Amino acid sequence: MIPQFSFYLTLIVIIIAIIMLANKLKVAYPVLLVIAGLILSFIPGVPLLRIDPELIFVIFLPPLLYEAAWAISWKELWRWRRIIGSFAFVVVFLTAMSVAFVANHFIPGFTLALGFLLGGIVSPPDAVSASAILKFVNVPKRMSAILEGESLLNDASSLIIFRFALIALSTGQFIWYQAVGGFAWMIIGGIGIGLLIAWVIIQAQKRLPTDANMDTIITIITPYIIYMVAEDVHSSGVLAVVCGGLLMSNKRHTFLNNTSRLRGVNVWQNIVFVLNGLVFLLIGLDLPEITSGLENISIMKAVGYGLLITAVLIIGRILAAYGAIVVTRIAMKFITVADTRSPGLKAPLIIGWTGMRGVVSLAAALSIPATLHGAPFPQRNLILFITFIVILITLLLQGLTLPFLIRKLNLPEYDDFVPEQEAEALIRKGLADHTVHFIESRFGERLNSDQHLRQLQEKWNSLLQESNEELQTLSKSESYEIINSQRAWLLSQNAADKHFDEDLIRKYLTKLDLEEEKLKYS
């Protein structure tokens, strides 16, 4: 027990060192972590690790999805809902189908059902890898929103395909109407359960006398509750966590106070940092177990199969990205689309190249049962090895070349949002106008006699931060009224004006939370 505990502490230290190196080299940290794990796996004396799929699906996946749902802009998710939905569901299914037919044709012993099983495993791109890479390069906001939105949903669709392929292999038959009904329940049930549990927790936190520590603990256990309840009734736990997280993120200002919001962000940043680091390091460390299962197949031949499937995935995603543009051009004749302008040939190539696979694929492969009807599960070890090769090649090839490709293509500037400096000026002016109007309507009778109110009124016509000292001279209840009014104005602007970047609105909301926190200790 003690040696293993020391080993995991050492892994966390290694993660910190690797991420510092990745930041220094401007390389996505998942790439270096997988390489570090591979190197560690060859060092004599390093404990042999086996990734328990339940560890990934139950311990790692819910909080990572939940945090991603809190971070994403709901406004952008809704704006690009069609292309996000097509990549998260349609493209994942087409990718799984392509892998199934190629595996059935080129890999000996692979039936179509086994091919679909492999396709369901390797079809979803990894969210963490893409976001870690994109932070080092300047890409249009729409592109990052599409990739982040897709990554929230594609795990659900791929795991659904995986589950039905496993059922078909276990029963020896595929009844389409049962599959359609089961598919519908997994989606509808997952969405419904996620929203219902999130709503119950929101109502409970509104009414119970919780403090910031309790609120933070509740946010930590919430994704686990949502995931386990959804899985227990055989719906999609992934969709449930995502939908529940989106609802709670959108309502955060109605059931969490400013202290809970500020403290929760800090806690969640640390949790996600450790979890992401561990999952990618564990991929590399799991190499000995993966290769040990290849008994009757040579390593070179297995690597060849892995490269073949990787090529299918990369080419298929690039074709899907360009195909989405064609479909959009046709659809715009019949429906209103998010942007009627052609994105050109560069943007689809970037979206197509962001197909790095990650730990969810490996966990799905590891969750394949060891036996089927008393005999060894067919091709299990080869599926596991191919999955590892796909993860390794996509992370190294696409992960290392994506920043260079983005810089080389020099993507055009889209006018989805008001430029940041102009938007900040507009927000400050609007916030100042609103605050002055609120002061005049709420405290109008005191303006002539209260010097501090007059100073505050005058200062709000300049920079937002210049009013801090004057705000402290009012009573706390009056100061809270002004801050709550400002917060409500910002939220209304975010909902009403699609040309304001939600990240910028959140920046000013955080400033108000900090201002309110200062008042508590003044």
- Band (pLDDT 50/70/90 cuts) for residue 470 is very low
- Site of tokens 């389409």: 176
Q: Per-residue pLDDT tens for 115-164?
A: 999 999 999 887 667 766 666 666 777 787 888 888 888 878 888 888 88
**Cβ distance 201 to 248 under 8 Å?**
yes
Task: Give the span between the Cα atoms of 499 and 414, in whole angstroms.
Answer: 12
How many Cα atoms within 13 Å fall on the side-chain side of residue 24? Answer: 7
Q: Per-residue pLDDT tens for 320-357?
A: 888 877 777 676 666 665 555 666 677 888 888 888 88
Write the CB contacts of 181 (distance below 8 Å, at least 6 apart in sequence).
none
Domains of the chain in start order, with CATH, are 2-409 (1.20.1530.20), 420-520 (no CATH)
- The arithmetic mean of pLDDT across residues 34-63, rounded, is 81
Given this model, what pLDDT does residue 215 score? 92
- Band (pLDDT 50/70/90 cuts) for residue 469 is very low
**Cβ distance 247 to 198 under 8 Å?**
yes
Does the pTM of the predicted model rise above 0.85? no
Q: Per-residue pLDDT tens for 275-320?
A: 888 888 888 887 777 777 676 778 888 899 999 999 999 999 999 8
For residue 260 the two structure tokens come to 């809970």
**Cβ distance 454 to 447 under 8 Å?**
yes
**Cβ distance 233 to 194 under 8 Å?**
no
Given a cut of 90, whether residue 198 has pLDDT beyond it is yes
The DSSP element (H or E) to which 494 belongs, if any, is helix 476-496
The DSSP element (H or E) to which 375 belongs, if any, is strand 375-376
Given a cut of 80, whether residue 413 has pLDDT beyond it is no
